Copies of this chain bind each other. A is one copy, B any other.
Amino acid sequence: MTLLRPSGRQPDQMRAVTIERNVARNAEGSCLVCFGATKVLVTASVETSLPSWRRGQGLGWVTAEYGMLPRATGTRTRREATAGKQSGRTQEIQRLIGRSLRAVVDMAALGENQVIVDCDVLEADGGTRTASITGAYVALADAVKWLTERELTKGEVLRDTVAAVSCGVYRGTPVLDLDYLEDVEAHTDANFVLTGSGRFVEIQGTAEQVPFTRAELESLMALAEKGIGDLTQIQLAALSS
């Protein structure tokens, strides 16, 4: 029997996922998160000031930025700083990361502090946004811990964990955690952001070529729930190490 996936993985099998904490000596929280060959360096920076529209309400703020080193990709990509602006894709991803994190943050408990999470892709092999969100939660948790140790928070800031994974229909079969080779070919691609308790924060499904049925979507959801379960374990293990 021939293998379905280029990597030889089972349809419901994640790539090897690792999260190494405290990789940036300056940041209040940081990690290197790998989903197989995809590597993202995440830092969480505590800022003493809030955006102006957020001040004076007793609430904190969490936001994210995303970038990719020019040669994270197979052929070199133009540096956004020389292009003079972030692409639509970059903005879409960093807005998603920010929303995902905010969904598990109690802003009143955070107090008037801001955490900026930077996700910079060192190597890209598909799933950079889902790896970013999964690592971002860990870096954010460390930054929150840093604030809590200094008594700058008011109660429990994090209401849940949050992680993300992509699923897609590859050569007719729903598979978990698409890598680049699969992503290029998949005719449906969906990103799921779920909490550790299994609730949905974001779902983004796109028919790349052929519209999909509700049944297909249901099967992708089931795969995502399994994958997020695995990722949550890895996050918790990293944070307790």
Name A199's closest neighbour in chain B (CB-CB). Answer: B211
Q: Nearest Cβ in chain B — how far from A215, in angstroms?
A: 10
Q: List residues of A (46-96) whose CB comes within 8 Å of B's CBs.
A: 47, 65, 67, 69-76, 79-86, 88-92, 94-95
Q: A67-B79, A123-B24 are in contact. Are A200 and B221 (CB under 8 A)?
A: no
Whether B200 pairs with A71 at a CB distance below 8 angstroms is no
Whether B70 pairs with A103 at a CB distance below 8 angstroms is no
Q: Nearest Cβ in chain B — how far from A65, in angstroms?
A: 6
Name A83's closest neighbour in chain B (CB-CB). Answer: B81
Q: Please tell me if A177 contacts chain B, counting CB pairs below 8 Å.
A: no
Whether A204 pairs with B207 at a CB distance below 8 angstroms is no
Q: List residues of A (1-59) whose CB comes within 8 Å of B's CBs.
A: 24-27, 30, 37, 41, 43, 45, 47
Q: How far is the CA of A221 from the CA of B218 in the complex (A)?
A: 11
Whether A71 pairs with B43 at a CB distance below 8 angstroms is yes
Q: A86-B82, A120-B69, A205-B203 are in contact. Are A160 and B211 (CB under 8 A)?
A: yes
Q: A25-B123, A199-B211, A200-B214 are in contact. Are A79 and B65 (CB under 8 A)?
A: yes
Q: How far is the CA of A123 from the CA of B94 in the complex (A)?
A: 22
Q: In the complex, which residues of chain B have a beta carbon less than 8 angstroms from the beta carbon of A207?
A: 103, 199-202
Whether B41 pairs with A69 at a CB distance below 8 angstroms is yes
Q: A76-B47, A79-B118 are in contact. Are A199 and B212 (CB under 8 A)?
A: yes
- The 12 sampled A-B contact pairs (Cβ below 8 Å) are A43-B70, A65-B82, A67-B69, A70-B116, A76-B118, A82-B86, A88-B88, A92-B95, A194-B211, A199-B211, A200-B213, A200-B217
Give chain A's interface residues, CB within 8 Å of chain B. Answer: 24-27, 30, 37, 41, 43, 45, 47, 65, 67, 69-76, 79-86, 88-92, 94-95, 99, 103-104, 116, 118, 120, 122-123, 160, 190, 194-195, 197, 199-207, 209, 211-214, 217, 221, 225
